[in-house]
Structure 1
Amino acid sequence: MTPERNERLTNVLVKRQPGLTVVLENVADPHNISAVMRTCDAVGIQDIYILNSKIENHKKWGAKSSSSAAKWLTVHQFTDAATCFAELRKRFDKIYTTHLSTDAVGLYELDLTQKVALVFGNEHSGCSDEIIGLADGNFIIPQVGIIKSLNISVACAVSVYEAFRQKTIAGHYESARLEPAHMAELRASWGFIEE
């Protein structure tokens, strides 16, 4: 690894945000998952959660969509919602689903500087009732068009870039937020050469 690449990867690690994650519930199209991975990497999300309780686990992601983002992320796969949420509760203070309901709040009303997990559901049926019941609340992305839905990768991008905006204002990208042990583990898995 060249010194320049070492420096670039170090700069990426310093900006990783352990207090923000994305959960994908039964997302069927691996290309959608890969597009989400690329967006997560872009805003500094390290860990993403994939819950496949109604569909088979994916064996690979859409390589063209991810531009190899998967190799830089930590992907947690689950087949049971309760187990997935038990893990999320250990690391995140709030879990919100994207769900159009009477109690849903607008994306811009959420405090995304907290430790937050954002859940995006299946392309056709959205988040399941089980997941909605396990979450702390629902949010919607404000829209003024006729069609009141977005592709999942677009919805995720809009949402995590709002988190990026809030976290930037709050100074979350100014210093390392990963625990030193976690950073060392990622450095090793990314192929860093220690001096």
Structure 2
Amino acid sequence: MRRRTPHAIQVELAQKRLLARLAGLDHAAIVRALSPFLTPERKARFDAVFASRLGNVTVLMDAPYDPHNGAAVLRSCDAFGVQRLHVVERGGISFLAAREVARGSEQWVHVRTYPTGRAALDVLAASGHELVATHPQGELMPEDLRSIPKVCLVLGNERDGIHEELVAACKRSVRVPMRGFVESLNVSVTGAILLQHATSGRQGDLSEEELRALHARAMILTIDHAAEVLLANGISLGEDALGVEGAEG
């Protein structure tokens, strides 16, 4: 497995700086100040993408080891409109994503990490998501996921699978049917297949405040000199708010 990956991103740390700044600001005011600098095409793109974003479908990764797999799952979340990715970090191993695989998805999907499985389970229980484990003999088929109102797909570690603590919290499991001799697929491939089914036919469900925050974040990240424009409108992001921290794997 590739633990030493050049240009890997410690995603949550890279996001925290900007998200912490945005949390205390008026998102509507940011959007008003920066909207004139968007082309009609870019505005339409933001509107369409964010309107389809999903909170009722999410993913929990259990101690992913390979930054390429982490990045691929992150990218699949973005591709299928999943707004949040939860990651349990075990044994002091931080969640890393290979930059060349993530391809910018780390800017759009909110990653939250946890030191223990219990901490992640508490958050997901509070949000009302049903945890569904991935397993070669799962009783559910991929298309069954779309009928679960709030679903969290649980993906295991590349070597050890899903920790027993998380398995115990999953009421059901899902499999990807296969015709060949292989018994399982790479975790990121499994995640992509199941997310396509889990998100199919669902309408975007984020709150108005979440949507405003996403628009503000997108404008800050993509408009040249956004910080200067905002400062001229009396809105300060603070020093280094737009910085992105990297971490070598």
- 1:55 deviation in Å? 4.6
User: Take 1:54 and 1:108, find their aligned partners in 2: how far apart are those partners?
Assistant: 31
TM-score normalized with structure 2 length: 0.69
The match for 2:64 among 1, 4, 27 is 27
Unpaired stretches in structure 2, ≥5 consecutive residues: 1-37, 224-249
**Is residue 124 from structure 1 mapped to residue 159 from structure 2 by the alignment?**
yes
Cα contact 1:23–1:50 (8 A) shared by 2: yes
Cα contact 1:28–1:55 (8 A) shared by 2: no
User: Take 2:115 and 2:181, find their aligned partners in 1: how far apart are those partners?
Assistant: 35
Question: Residue 149 of structure 1 aligns with which residue?
Answer: 184
User: Take 1:131 and 1:62, find their aligned partners in 2: how far apart are those partners?
Assistant: 26
- 1:106 deviation in Å? 3.0
- 1:79 deviation in Å? 1.1
Cα contact 2:140–2:172 (8 A) shared by 1: no
Matched ranges for 1:94-133 at <5 A: 94-100=130-136, 104-108=138-142, 110-113=144-147, 114-133=149-168
Cα contact 1:132–1:138 (8 A) shared by 2: no
Change (3 A) 1:70 1:91: same
**Is residue 90 from structure 1 mapped to residue 126 from structure 2 by the alignment?**
yes
Unpaired stretches in structure 1, ≥5 consecutive residues: none
User: Take 1:155 and 1:84, find their aligned partners in 2: how far apart are those partners?
Assistant: 21
User: Take 1:184 and 1:109, find their aligned partners in 2: how far apart are those partners?
Assistant: 32
* Greater than 3 Å deviation, 4+ residue runs: none
Q: Which has the higher contact order (CA 8 A, sep 6+)?
A: 2
Percent identity over the alignment is 27
User: Take 1:164 and 1:8, find their aligned partners in 2: how far apart are those partners?
Assistant: 20
Question: Residue 91 of structure 2 aligns with which residue?
Answer: 54
Change (3 A) 1:55 1:119: farther
Cα contact 1:92–1:117 (8 A) shared by 2: no
Cα contact 1:51–1:79 (8 A) shared by 2: yes
TM-score normalized with structure 1 length: 0.87
The match for 2:115 among 79, 87, 90 is 79
Change (3 A) 1:164 1:55: same
User: Take 1:142 and 1:106, find their aligned partners in 2: how far apart are those partners?
Assistant: 10
Letter matched to residue 157 of structure 1: A
User: Take 1:181 and 1:134, find their aligned partners in 2: how far apart are those partners?
Assistant: 31
Change (3 A) 1:143 1:106: farther
- 1:4 deviation in Å? 1.6
Cα contact 1:26–1:55 (8 A) shared by 2: no
Question: Residue 178 of structure 1 aligns with which residue?
Answer: 206
Larger Cα-atom Rg: 2
RMSD of aligned Cα (Å): 1.9
Cα contact 2:83–2:109 (8 A) shared by 1: yes
User: Take 1:138 and 1:129, find their aligned partners in 2: how far apart are those partners?
Assistant: 13
Residue deviations 1:104-143 (CA, integer Å, cap 9, x gap): 3132363424110000001111111111012222222111
**Is residue 12 from structure 1 mapped to residue 49 from structure 2 by the alignment?**
yes
Q: Secondary structure at the match of 2:181?
A: coil
User: Take 2:143 and 2:209, find their aligned partners in 1: how far apart are those partners?
Assistant: 34
Letter matched to residue 69 of structure 1: S
Letter matched to residue 212 of structure 2: A
Cα contact 1:41–1:69 (8 A) shared by 2: yes
Change (3 A) 1:17 1:147: same
Question: Residue 158 of structure 1 aligns with which residue?
Answer: 193
Cα contact 1:98–1:119 (8 A) shared by 2: yes
The match for 1:188 among 203, 210, 216 is 216
Alignment length (residue pairs): 184
